[in-house]
Amino acid sequence: MSDEKFFFPSKEVIEKATVKEYDKLYKYSIEHREDFWAEQASQLSWYKKWDRVLDKSNPPFYKWFTGGKTNIILNAIDRHLLSPLRNKLAIIWEGERGEVRTFSYYSLNREVCEFANILKSMGVEKGDVVTIYMPQIPEQLFAMLACAKIGAVHSVVYGGFSSAALADRINDANSRVVVTADGGFRRGKVVELKSVVNKAMELSPTMEICITVKHTGTEVYMENGRDYWFHDLKALPIAGQKCETAEMDANDMLFLLYTSGSTGKPKALVHTHGGYSVYISATHKMVMDIKPEDRYWCAADPGWITGHSYIVYGPLINGATIVMYEGAPNHPYPDRWWRMIQKYGVNILYTSPTAIRGLMRYGDSWTKKHDLSSLRLLGSVGEPINPEAWRWYHHVIGQDKCPIMDTWWQTETGGFMITPLPITPLKPGSATRPFFGNEMAVVDDNGKEAGICEEGNLVIKSPWPGMAAGIYGDPDRFVETYWKKYEKQGWYLTGDAAKKDEDGYYWIIGRTDDVIKVSGYRLGTAEIESAMITHPAIVESAAIAIPHAIKGNAIHIYAILRNDYKPSHELEMELINHVVHQMGPIARPEEVKFVDLLPKTRSGKIMRRLLKARIMGLPEGDLSTLEE
Ligand code: PRX
């Protein structure tokens, strides 16, 4: 592994880099963690400065910048209005049909104020949870920013989730207001959103109001007193162009974001105004190396943590020009991205290994049609990037001159945890070393540090400002999931397996729990199996991840049928569609296989590990707990 040749950054990249040296600053940030973070926090605006940098009195519920008063909008918008950034482009958005909308920081502020006033007129108050279920259009951002501005808490649900999944999230958060659109465009087709919301609202006792943005022109059902068109509300005097930003405590909730775990229903991680702002802006500035003249494009969906931290909040706090799009990388042709990079002069591109592998298979002719020379830096996130995809990304897209920031992090961590800096010598497939302030390790089940290149559990040993404040409404689950295993040591369990090589570089292997990463999306086997069991043919099933050339992993299901059902191709298709209907298209299983038995431990737990080993012909490991 360590024989991999290092890739060294070009002179141009080094000259531009915000951080010129890693080791010394890393040492300082560990030995003087609170000073380091206080210095970062001082670069932001505060209504009132914090009293304490870190309150460790109630671990693992760490509190950062206690006593501080701020609002993420103060930093993401308000302060820019007082500087020349006021007239700089904040957002360049391109729709799937080629339409372009642009917003300066000044006009972004106006849009956000109007949206905020509309939410207020619907009775939304500080602390209320607003659900956002939107396509990738500017209004999705405006809705998020408007919530933050008035101190409401947004819960963005990815537009690919089903009505049942949306209703679960609405109900868990006790949300009364949902913001949606009639539909979105994807590969030339309309994805209906409002009709999904209508079904979810029927399943939700708390939902009262739905605001719908007209985007696709799809006909939708609207109910009097419950449903409002956004453009109608915008035309009313209530949507004034001025709105006060609410002064928030640093530890007040900013957003909830649902993510899958190994057991039970998805859980909502809570992020706050203070620590999160500091962490994502510092990481974004130092790693993505944003410069005033840059055009930055994170091609994720704003509905995931990558979008929250590194499309919306991090870049806006840093006063960047964000490129955003609606659609898919291969529609109308596989050069949509390359065309956009040339057209808008994108300097920094941040995406996922699945997208890279998907585009790589079309060959280089599509990239050669376009001038990609504006690119200076590339990024990757969501799953391990295989060296082959890394090299293609580096060579063909980055023209051998753009370093790849392979950023390892999670919904829970808020921002990058293990990541190169632009100056870091790179090894394809390694996320390299921890970001400043973070002590990480690879350890065995007892907490003993793994040897060089030995596989173990990846843990985080020290608190960081971007860390989730908890799981919404379920503090015990927060402790149980992340802090129980290494309770004695006080370490955070990431759920990933990793190795560390002799240069201190981390190599992420993948999840160790029952979480499956499909195209970088995070799904729990428990959720998939719960969806299966709602079909009358199913007695029991086990979902496992099998490696897939493009998606990283694919879902394979092993199912036991009720006696009165016979295995057939038709039934397999019906079950696959059933899971899609229950969860949404991202959870589409690759196959459903019918079996008579599932391997179980004596205590009745399905041994997914053994199932996977048998299917893939891998060593079966310790079978001492297997039921006869
Ligand atoms: O398994 C790791 C993988 O994605 C998980 C976190 O998923 P999620 O909360 O959805 O956040 C994704 C975007 C930050 C991690 O536990 N992962 C994320 N980034 C990488 C990665 N695996 C390998 N390399 C990465 N760069």
Name the pairing type of β-strands 456-460 and 440-443: antiparallel
521 CA closest ligand 1 atom index: 10
Tell me the two tokens of residue 380: 């990757």
What is the pLDDT of the chain when averaged over all its residues?
95
Query: What is the per-residue pLDDT across 326-376, written as a single tens digit (0 to 9) for each?
Result: 999 999 999 999 999 999 999 999 999 999 999 999 999 999 999 999 999
154 lines ligand 1 (CB under 6 A): no
What is the per-residue pLDDT for 265? 84
Count the residues in the chain: 628
User: Distance of alpha carbon 148 from its chain centroid, rounded?
Assistant: 18
Residue 496 near ligand 1, beta carbon < 6 Å: yes
Residue 545 beta carbon below 6 angstroms from any ligand 1 atom: no
Give pLDDT tens digits for 512-535: 988 999 999 999 999 999 999 999
For 80, how many CA atoms within 13 A lie in the half-sphere containing its CB? Answer: 25
Pocket test for ligand 1, best of 156, 271, 352, 381 (most atoms within 8 A of CB): 381
pLDDT per residue over 480-503, tens digit each?
A: 999 999 999 999 999 999 999 999
Contact call for residues 181 and 157 (beta carbons, < 8 A): no
Instruction: Calculate the CA 301 to chain-centre distance.
Output: 8
Please say if the pLDDT value at position 250 is more than 90.
yes
Predicted confidence band of residue 621 (pLDDT cuts 50, 70, 90): confident
Rg of the Cα atoms in the chain: 24
Distance 409 CA to ligand 1 centre (A): 5
pLDDT at 1 over 50: no
Check residue 387 and report its DSSP letter: H
| 152-156, 218-222, 258-262, range with the lowest pLDDT | 258-262
- 60 preceded by a cis bond (ω within 30 of 0): yes
Q: How far apart are the C-alpha atoms of 153 and 269, rounded to whole Å?
A: 12
pLDDT band of 61, cuts 50, 70, 90: very high
Give the CA dihedral 508, 512, 518, 524, nearest 10 degrees: -150
Q: What angle do CA 281, 140, 305 make, to 5 degrees?
A: 45
Cβ of residue 351 lying under 6 Å from some atom of ligand 1: no
* pLDDT tens per residue across span 154-209: 999 999 999 999 999 999 999 999 999 999 999 999 999 999 999 999 999 999 99
SS3 422: coil
Residue nearest to atom 24 of ligand 1 (CA): 384
Backbone angles phi, psi at 364, to 5 degrees: -90, -10
Query: How far does the centroid of ligand 1 lie from the alpha carbon of residue 497, in Å?
Result: 11
Dist CA 223 CA 188 (whole Å): 29
Residue whose CA is at the smallest distance from ligand 1 atom 11: 410
State whether the beta carbon of 522 lies less than 6 angstroms from ligand 1.
Answer: yes
Please report which helix (H) or strand (E) contains residue 448, including its range.
Answer: none
Strand partners, 54: 64
**Percentage above 90 pLDDT, the chain:** 92
Q: What is the CA(235)–ligand 1 centre distance, in A?
A: 42
Question: Taking 50 as the threshold, does the pLDDT of residue 2 lie above it?
Answer: no
626 pLDDT band, cuts 50/70/90, is confident
Confidence of residue 263 (pLDDT cuts 50, 70, 90): confident
Residue 407 CB neighbours (<10 A) = 24
String of DSSP letters for 80-104: GGGSGGGGSEEEEEE-TTS-EEEEE
- Ligand 1 pocket check for 259: Cβ under 6 Å: yes
How far is it, in rounded angstroms, from Cα 71 to Cα 273? Answer: 6
Residue range 589-595: average pLDDT?
96
User: Does the structure show a pLDDT above 70 at 628?
Assistant: no
Enumerate the β-bridge partners of residue 492: 460
Nearest alpha carbon, ligand 1 atom 12: 382
pLDDT at 4: 54
CA-nearest of 443, 473, 446 to 459 is 443
Q: Is the CB of 383 under 6 A from ligand 1?
A: yes
* Residue 603, token pair as written in the block: 């205590």
Q: Hey, which residues does 296 pair with through a beta bridge?
A: 322, 348
Distance 381 CA to ligand 1 centre (A): 6
Asked whether residue 619 carries a pLDDT value surpassing 90, the answer given is no
